[in-house]
């Protein structure tokens, strides 16, 4: 087992310390339920055949079919897939979705594939894993370097094999093929609902608080524009090449228009004397809320002490390294953890699956209403757990999720039920 997977299990052990959990539950959650590895031979445009390693893991399905994205990345490996499937088990439980956790991946650099090669690879993935996935069994979604069209090819391939249109096998599809309204901004919107719901507790408010966001992609842009439209002052933004900071505020709509026109965030102007910063400087810039929304491992043991924001909202997956957590806690910072802050994405994926299964489609307002109704009470419960047990928000989120998973395992009987005198 790798460090990554061991680290995940250590988080599980730490959460368990705060609950009276039966050993049976911990035994079940210590290992993935099943992981399938395959080799995908793909015909390249020049007529040659290349083989790609691929995996899919169903970590735990006690609470329902497993759910999680498929990642196309050169560094994907079995341990990463298992670890991400483990996190998905907890994220789905945090949002109280009737799902377990899963994940998939292919070791490939998509930048070296043509579009036709990418299509053949996507279809080959479904051919290899068709008996493993399924609308009632394991429901994939997009992840790094997979998107709506990849999901469309995969759903089509599965439907051909099943000899019937089966849109519910996968989520994150284009709207024309059964995708959900409101999926595009769901992750940023979910983080926005969490922050707004906990405003009083966190001591932040529109017209008063300044926000810095790292990244200016899907999750970050939507969160930035929603907060800005409500009166928060967005003072910092970045993309992979540059970062801008303006204490007088930046309009994210104008910054996005600039990025779309020029191809980069660099050069976008705020309301005052806009400064260029490095990405590292942006994380440490003066603000009230910091939203890491780009990459993992951005807040580390070396920069945690320099972070000024009292509130950190993790829209990215894993932006804070485990060793930075105690430093942030000691400095009195509140971290809204990724498994809560970015759970809007998987929540609306669940709505897509529900709509596909029922054949009845909702408008965007309905999706937003249901998302808010799902995520806001969970934020409140996790905040209450944090206070009750005097723990940080991340631990509270894990404890909250573990409690739900344990309840489901318990409901089928543990040792105490089968051998009460034992």
The nearest distance, CB 200 to ligand NAD, in angstroms, is: 26
**Does the active-site annotation cover 103?**
yes
Q: Which is nearer to ligand NAD, 122 or 187 (CB)?
A: 187
The nearest distance, CB 236 to ligand NAD, in angstroms, is: 11
Please state the three-class secondary structure of the chain as a single string. CCHHHHHHHHHHHHHHCCCCCCHHHHHHHCCCCEEEEEEEEEECCCCCEEEEEEEEEEEECCCCCEEEEEEECCCCCHHHHHHHHHHHHHHHHHCCCCCEEEEEEECCCHHHCCHHHHHHHHHHHHHHHCCCCECCCEEEEECCCCCHHHHHHHHHHHHHHHCCCCHHHCCCCCHHHCCCCCCCCHHHHHHHHHHHHCHHHHCCCCCCCEEEEECCCHHHHHHHHHHHHCCCEEEEEECCCCEEECCCCCCHHHHHHHHHHHCCCCCCCCCCCCEEECHHHHHCCCCCEEEECCCCCCECCCCHHHCCCCEEECCCCCCECHHHHHHHHHCCCEEECHHHHCCHHHHHHHHHHHHHHHCCCCCHHHHHHHHHHHHHHHHHHHHHHHHHHCCCHHHHHHHHHHHHHHHHHHCCCCHHHHCCCC
The nearest distance, CB 341 to ligand NAD, in angstroms, is: 9
The nearest distance, CB 51 to ligand NAD, in angstroms, is: 27
Q: Which is nearer to ligand NAD, 39 or 240 (CB)?
A: 240
- Residue facing ligand NAD at closest CB distance: 217
CA distance to 45, 189, 251, 370, per residue, from 335 (Å) = 47, 18, 25, 25
Q: Which is nearer to ligand NAD, 204 or 243 (CB)?
A: 243
The nearest distance, CB 215 to ligand NAD, in angstroms, is: 3
Q: Which is nearer to ligand NAD, 64 or 217 (CB)?
A: 217
Q: 69, 97, 60, 57: which is closest to 354 by C-alpha? A: 97
Q: Which is nearer to ligand NAD, 294 or 382 (CB)?
A: 294
Contacting residues toward ligand NAD, per CB under 6 A: 187, 214-220, 238-240, 279, 293-295, 315-317, 342, 345
The nearest distance, CB 237 to ligand NAD, in angstroms, is: 9
- CA 143/CA 150 separation, integer angstroms: 10
Q: Which is nearer to ligand NAD, 62 or 187 (CB)?
A: 187
Q: Which is nearer to ligand NAD, 117 or 239 (CB)?
A: 239
Joined together, the tokens standing for residue 258 give: 């600039």
Q: Which of 33, 67, 91, 103 is catalytic?
A: 103
The nearest distance, CB 245 to ligand NAD, in angstroms, is: 13
The residues annotated with a catalytic role in the active site are 103
């Amino acid at each position: 087992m790798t460090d990554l997977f061991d680290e995940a299990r250590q988080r599980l052990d730490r959460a368990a310390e705060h609950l009276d959990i039966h050993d049976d539950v911990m035994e079940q959650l210590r290992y993935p339920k099943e992981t399938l590895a395959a080799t995908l031979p793909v015909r390249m445009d020049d007529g040659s055949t290349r083989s790609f390693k691929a995996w899919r893991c169903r970590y735990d399905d006690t609470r329902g079919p497993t759910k999680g994205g498929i990642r196309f990345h050169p560094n994907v490996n079995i341990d990463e897939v298992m670890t991400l499937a483990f996190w998905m088990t907890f994220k789905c439980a945090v949002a109280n979705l009737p799902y377990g956790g899963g994940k998939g991946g292919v070791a490939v650099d998509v930048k070296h594939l043509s579009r036709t090669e990418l299509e053949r690879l996507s279809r080959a993935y479904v051919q290899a894993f068709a008996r493993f996935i399924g609308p009632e069994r394991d429901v994939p979604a997009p992840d790094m370097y997979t998107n709506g069209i990849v999901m469309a090819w995969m759903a089509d391939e599965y439907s051909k094999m099943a000899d019937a249109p089966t849109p519910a096998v996968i989520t994150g599809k284009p709207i024309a093929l059964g995708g959900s309204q409101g999926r595009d901004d769901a992750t940023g919107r979910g983080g926005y609902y969490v922050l707004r719901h906990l405003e009083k507790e966190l001591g932040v408010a529109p017209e008063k608080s300044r926000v810095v966001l790292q990244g200016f992609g899907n999750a970050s842009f939507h969160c930035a524009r929603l907060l800005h439209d409500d009166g928060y002052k967005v003072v910092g933004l970045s993309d992979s090449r540059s970062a801008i900071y303006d204490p007088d505020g930046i309009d994210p709509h104008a910054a996005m228009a600039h990025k779309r026109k020029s191809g980069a965030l660099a050069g976008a102007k705020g309301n005052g004397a806009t400064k260029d910063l490095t990405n590292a400087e942006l994380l440490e810039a003066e603000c009230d809320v910091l939203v890491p929304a780009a990459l993992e491992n951005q807040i580390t043991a070396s920069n945690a002490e320099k972070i000024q924001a009292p509130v950190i909202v993790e829209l990215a997956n894993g932006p804070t390294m485990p060793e930075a957590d105690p430093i942030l806690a000691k400095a009195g910072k509140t971290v809204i953890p990724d498994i809560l802050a970015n759970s809007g994405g998987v929540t609306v994926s669940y709505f897509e699956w529900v709509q596909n299964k029922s054949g009845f489609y909702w408008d965007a307002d309905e999706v937003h209403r249901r998302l808010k109704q799902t995520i806001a009470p969970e934020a409140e419960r996790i905040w209450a757990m944090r206070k009750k047990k005097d723990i940080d928000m991340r631990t509270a989120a894990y404890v909250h999720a573990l409690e739900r998973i344990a309840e489901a395992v318990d409901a089928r009987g543990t040792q105490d039920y089968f051998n009460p005198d034992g």
